[in-house]
Amino acid sequence: MQSKMSWRRLSHGESSAVLAVDFDSAVRPIAGFGQLVELMDFNRAFWHSRQPPSSTRDRLSAEEYLDHWAEVPHGGGNIDAVLGYCVGCVFAPALVERIEQVQGHRPELLLFDPEPAVVSSLYQDFRETVESVSILSGAEREQLVIEAGKACLDAGDDFDAAAAQVIELYEAAVSTAFARLSLDPVLIGEFTQVFRSYVSYLSAAAELSPEDGWQSGIALTARGSSPGARHARKELSFPVGSADLLRDRRVAETVFDLLSGGEH
């Protein structure tokens, strides 16, 4: 039975289905799989991963995410391909393995700017998030970034330790912003749910070592490549920034060809 809590349909199709793994957020400014699907006229159902509801309050394990996504949608037939974007690529090989065990044949694996989840990427994401909180002064934002940098440096490779400190700093920033805007502090928890869920997603990915699994996939990368692309069996690079990779028509045409059995 298809779980509506695990997957969101991006398009309808009659022949088979494709799964796309990425953090599901409507507020993220970079292009997502929804834009990619809009550029393709393809007779396949596309499904986008949803985050486990409990990830808004707890940091979940990689196994819990994979269990959540393992109940794949079958309304569109067999799963022919699994796509991942950025850290979503970390989960994709393990999901491919699970699907192969169930349906008896292996889905194709396409990796868009594959990137492992490391403490330095958590710091970068925190910095970008805090810099967008315009109600805080420049000095306040800078201090938060400095504190997050120190916390991440002290944590070393301990992603969970860094994640706990970063969440605490983010919630402090949101509390200050709410007070200045005279907003109800009761709503702070609801406001920070997306960030907590995102950190949970990164923390779970940090448990996995996807490099061997990436060797069976094709990497489609933006200008400058990506940290994980060298592990793929083939890399196709496009002259576009990472934020626009999934809304580039050349990328969409290449994906269409690859999923139709073609090769570039």
Q: Which two tokens stand for residue 198?
A: 């995102």
CA distances from 163 to 74, 79, 116 (A): 35, 34, 15
Q: Average pLDDT, stretch 186-206?
A: 89
- Per-residue pLDDT at 260: 86
Identity of the residue numbered 18: V
Q: Does domain 7-116+208-259 have CATH number 2.40.40.20?
A: no
Query: Domains of the chain: which residue ranges?
Result: 7-116+208-259, 119-205
The residues near 237 (Cβ < 8 Å, ≥ 6 apart) are 220, 221, 222, 223, 225
pLDDT range class, residue 224, cuts 50, 70, 90: confident
- Per-residue pLDDT at 42: 79
Give 132-181 pLDDT, tens digit per residue: 888 999 999 999 999 999 999 999 989 999 999 999 999 999 989 888 88
**Which of helix, strand or coil describes residue 234?**
strand
Q: Is residue 7 a contact partner of residue 48, using CB atoms and an 8 Å limit?
A: yes
Q: What percent of the chain has pLDDT over 90?
A: 66
Give 227-246 pLDDT, tens digit per residue: 899 999 999 999 999 999 99
Residue 94: φ, ψ to 5°: -65, -35
For strand 7-11 and strand 44-49, is the pairing parallel, antiparallel, or unpaired? antiparallel
Beta-ladder partners of 20:
48, 83
pLDDT range class, residue 74, cuts 50, 70, 90: low
- Per-residue pLDDT at 25: 76
CA distances from 106 to 51, 81, 102, 173, 181 (A): 24, 8, 10, 45, 52
